[in-house]
Chains A and B, each alone.
Chain A
Amino acid sequence: MAIGQPANRVDAVAKVTGRARYTDDFYRPDMLIAKYFRSTIAHGRVISIDVSKAKALNGVEAVFTYEDVPKIKYATAGHPYALDRSRADVADTLLLDRQIRYMGDEIAIVVAVDDLTASEALELIEVEYESYSPLISPEQVLSKGAREIHPGQSNVIGEHQFECGDLEQGFSQAEVVHEGQYETHMLQHVHIENHTAFAYMNDLEHIVIISSTQIPHIARRIVGEALDIPWGRVRVVKPYIGGGFGAKQDVILEPILAFLTMQLDGRPVKISMTREECMLCTRNRHPMTATVKIGTLKDGTMVARHMDTLFSTGAYASHGHSIAAASGSKNTLLYPRTAIGYHARTIYNNIPIAGAMRAYGSPQVVFALESAVDDTARKIGIDPVEFRIQNGARQNDLNPLNQKPIQSCGLVECLEKGRELIGWQEKMSQRRQQTGNIRKGLGVACFSYGTGTYPMNVEIAGARIILNQDGSVHVQTGATEIGQGSDTVVAQMVSQTMGLPMENIHIVSTQDTDVTPFDPGAYASRQAYIVGNAVYKAASELREKILTYAAEMTDKSVSDLEIEGRNIVLVDQPGKAIISLIDLALDTYYHTDRGGQLTADVSHKTLANPATFGCTFVDITVDISLCRIRINEIFNVHDSGVILNHSTAKGQVEGGMAMGIGAALSEQVLIDPESGKVNNNNMLDYKVPTMIDLPDIGCAFVETVEPTSAYGNKSLGEPPVISPPPAIRNALLDATGVAINEIPLAPQVLFRHFKQAGLI
């Protein structure tokens, strides 16, 4: 049946013909264009602002400053509403603000008839600042007497620690202890469609917002919160979107657009960010520093590990401390049979805002952990793959955080498969002492990750399936297609459970909060798992209704009937139609005395969060004098439970690995340490890998069956990005003996370390 098939994407034809419509494709000639006036200093306060010249410019409809907007602070994070308000996201954002917290902060906004006029008007705004010295590095932020970036609020916005098992005893038992410092820098999502949205009013009350968002239902709530209007007055529509990777899991443009259209008599107003603006003023991946300590016995048994991390969220909290917290929890399952300690802090600084980015902090934490694991393996002289197999999670191990058994786990099998794919043992046995300029290295790294956010947040999903007059069905979910292939696997699920052919399943791709069943949206690799449970319930319900109706029409008993393709058949006589679905459907709609439209409309909460596992194996060549790493071969192997669609799954893994390779080798947002200015917020200077920068990418799956999922699947969207960087770092260590504890491993970084190590 449909699950497990490499079915073509349901949106592929719309996309290859250019007919799929994205936010900017809903062009209206009367649309007004809004542009932010942004700060040119990183830390300070506006003393005065004069917008009169801008207002007077022909074609300018309005200019608003921090003085004109509601004094309501709101949180932008794409999390479900927290019933326990003490756990609500940090509300620290105003629509426009006179306090300046990073270079690019939003002070005023211009609305004009077109883009050019709006840009011209920005030039006419005069502003006077009082400027404070920017707090960029963690040392500056944490120094005694440092100014509060959000006055009245500590610069440490979150801190927590936990311990599983007896850490002290673990370390005292350890025969070998490794301790190291690791660092990752700021990264940018670089989704190809920049943030863009527009808003208008349908009448005098309702605001419609078309937005490139991953989280339409959350966006609606946050607009309501930011403007203090009833949430039901806001309608958010999400068409196709050109990638998000977490950057569109924050509510950035929607509140101000709702405000603007309300101020401008309901006229359509649009903000389309430029690439430079999008890279500077939306969200980034948190820079992180970590101290990792691992204690082992000489035989390779890990007995204790502790991590201390510091995440920089930048100018605003966005997801607050959640990212440091989630990533600390998710890695505990990787080596669960050991005492574990974790301490984390998240701080504000005067740099661009960090938020969710693919794998939510895990790439940073796992880079530190998996580098330290390799360092430890070397110290005790054990093969790093063996060391991981020896200590890695196995099925029925207890989850250290809740003491419940891990119900599906293929980590060891992933490691064994990856080792074989790369030819680890063979290559290692042929390895001679390397001394020349060109050296080869092999590296490995693993990860564990979650599926969704339970129990920190509710995990709710809605699905609605309607039997059409022609015997086909329409399916609506609140789960959002953002490129990952959500719509396609939903169709496969319906096909699997209802017995319908894929051609007879129509997916409504657009989410519209006025009509779409509730679901918070695309994040935490939750959707195929959480929505799967809702779709299963809805599909089973509708199937039951159809069979009951068929029984009534044919005078058979329900249990004797089955849906088979376009027909109803007897269970014991497959292939022989007793009534077609079309005839049945027509009867439900048009029979004068019986029936009615058959639908199933389900909202389902999932109360589990299964762990996923996997690893990267990489074979590299290092050119020492050129300070360059070339990847010869790279493989990811994933345990994501049952693979719903091998084609889209492979696509997710390859894309995630490419992003991981970029993070490992070339990507970094470069921030001037004095002024806080970002120097490379464009696609020329920020090095996203192009086709020529990447090697052939390989992947494989170890399929387990996750019992809490209706279809056996677990998370897959984010995990592929996690383990390539530490694997590459470990391969570099294998090749050169130089342990570089930061990424990216770009030539200038390699040069510094090779020089220090006396290699050049």
Chain B
Amino acid sequence: MNQNITLTVNGREKTLNIDVRSSLLEVLRDQLGLTSIKQGCGVGECGACTVIIDDDIIDSCIYLAVWADGKSVRTLEGESKNAVLSTVQKGYVDEGAVQCGFCTPGLIMTTTSFVEKNRGKEISHEEIRKAHAGNTCRCTGYQTILTVAGKCLEPGKEPDE
């Protein structure tokens, strides 16, 4: 069975005709070509498919596309603007927090959401670790990712435009 949904993706409104059984991951990748969204498990274990919906991060592989009707979705494709990386993206580059890069899109969305929610707060390493525990990275050991998240929350770092 197919159905129309209307959602905002990276700031642009889209109306899509979708198979009601499909996941948000499938629709965003196959219909909109947003291939930053990676599938590492398809069952909510690895976090490679993380996107931001309204203000929360979700695993798009276990989120039905129909649930996104009327909502606003952010994927990694929308994070750099006018050829300028977001603070979090730039942090990942500068700290060497990227290796194979397969977990990276999901992790950047998680860090982005975390940083946006916690700006101006005193945040411990423990809290950063907990907030990122849903994203598995097999390459980095997370040390650099911890550093990126910490630095993005340092006073003086302005939110992106």
A interface with B by C-beta (< 8 Å): 6, 8-9, 11-22, 24-25, 27, 189-194, 240-243, 245, 274-275, 482-485, 647-648, 650-651, 654-659, 682-684, 688, 690-694, 696-697
Contacts and interface: CB of A to CB of B under 8 A. Distances in A.
B152 to A, nearest CB: 13
Interface stretch (B1-9, B62-70, B115-123, B127-135): B127-135
A275 B40 contact: yes
Nearest to A683: B45
B53 interface: no
A242 B100 contact: yes
A8 B96 CA distance: 7
B140 A17 contact: no
Contacts of A690: 132-136
Contacts of B105: 18
B141 interface: yes
B52 interface: no
Contacts of B41: 274-275, 682-683
Please name the 8 residue pairs, one residue from A and one from B, whose CB atoms are nearest each other, closest first: A18-B36, A242-B102, A483-B100, A658-B141, A15-B101, A654-B141, A18-B76, A683-B45
B35 A17 contact: no
B153 interface: no
Contacts of A482: 100
A72 to B, nearest CB: 33
B102 A22 contact: yes
22 contacts: A8-B93, A12-B96, A15-B101, A18-B34, A21-B35, A24-B35, A192-B103, A193-B100, A241-B102, A242-B100, A243-B102, A243-B138, A274-B42, A275-B42, A275-B45, A483-B102, A651-B140, A654-B141, A657-B141, A683-B40, A693-B133, A694-B141
A199 B50 CA distance: 29
A691 B140 CA distance: 10
Nearest to B93: A12
A691 B145 contact: yes
Given A12-B96, A650-B144, 6 more contacts: A9-B96, A16-B98, A22-B35, A657-B141, A684-B45, A691-B146
A242 B101 contact: yes
A21 B75 CA distance: 16
A647 B92 CA distance: 12
A194 B40 contact: yes
Interface string B83-102: 00100011011101011111
Contacts of B140: 651, 654-655, 658
B48 interface: yes
Nearest to B126: A692
B1 to A, nearest CB: 14
Contact of B45 (A19, A189, A682): A682
A648 B96 contact: yes
Nearest to B35: A25
Contacts of A485: 99
Contact of A243 (B92, B139, B144): B139
Nearest to A685: B45
B80 interface: yes
A12 B91 CA distance: 11
B155 to A, nearest CB: 22
Contacts of A24: 35, 39
Given A12-B98, A275-B45, A193 B40 contact: yes
Given A17-B80, A21-B35, A192 B138 contact: yes
B108 interface: yes
A242 B49 CA distance: 13
Interface residues of B, number: 56
Contacts of A13: 85, 93
A691 B38 contact: no
Contacts of A484: 99
B115 to A, nearest CB: 15
B104 A27 contact: no
Given A27-B35, A194-B40, A692-B133, A16 B104 contact: yes
Secondary structure call for the A interface = loop
Contacts of B146: 691, 696
A9 B141 contact: no
A193 B35 contact: no
A683 B138 contact: no
Contacts of B71: none
B142 A691 contact: yes
A650 B138 contact: no
Nearest to B46: A683
B140 to A, nearest CB: 5
B15 interface: no
Contacts of A654: 140-144
B29 interface: yes
B139 A655 contact: yes
B93 A658 contact: no
Contacts of A648: 96
Contact of A191 (B98, B129, B134, B138): B138
B154 interface: no
Contacts of B108: 16
Interface in B24-42: 29-30, 33-42
Contact of A192 (B38, B77, B129): B38
Contact of A18 (B35, B99, B103, B142): B35
B96 A191 contact: no
A240 B100 CA distance: 8
B101 A20 contact: yes
A696 to B, nearest CB: 7
Contacts of B45: 275, 682-684
A251 B45 CA distance: 27
Which one of B29, B80, B102 has the greatest number of beta carbons of chain A within 10 Å? B102
B57 interface: no
Contact of A16 (B48, B89, B136): B89
A18 B30 contact: no
Contact of B43 (A27, A189, A682): A682
Nearest to B40: A192
A643 to B, nearest CB: 13
A51 to B, nearest CB: 26
Contacts of B144: 650-651, 654
A241 B37 CA distance: 14
B101 A483 contact: yes
Given A192-B48, A697-B143, A12 B92 contact: yes
B121 to A, nearest CB: 19
A11 B133 CA distance: 25
Contacts of B142: 654, 658, 691, 694
A190 B46 CA distance: 10
B102 to A, nearest CB: 3
A363 to B, nearest CB: 15
B73 interface: no
A17 B38 contact: no
A274 B103 CA distance: 16
Given A27-B29, A275-B43, A655-B99, A15 B38 contact: no
B25 to A, nearest CB: 11
Given A275-B42, A483-B99, A17 B76 contact: yes
A691 B132 contact: yes
A16 B88 CA distance: 9
B46 A192 contact: yes
Contact of B98 (A9, A189, A194): A9
Contacts of A683: 40-41, 45-46, 136
A722 to B, nearest CB: 15
A484 B101 CA distance: 10
B40 to A, nearest CB: 4
Contacts of B96: 6, 8-9, 12, 647-648, 650-651
Contacts of A19: 36
Nearest to A21: B35
A520 to B, nearest CB: 20
Given A27-B35, A275-B45, A17 B143 contact: no
Given A9-B96, A691-B129, A696 B43 contact: no
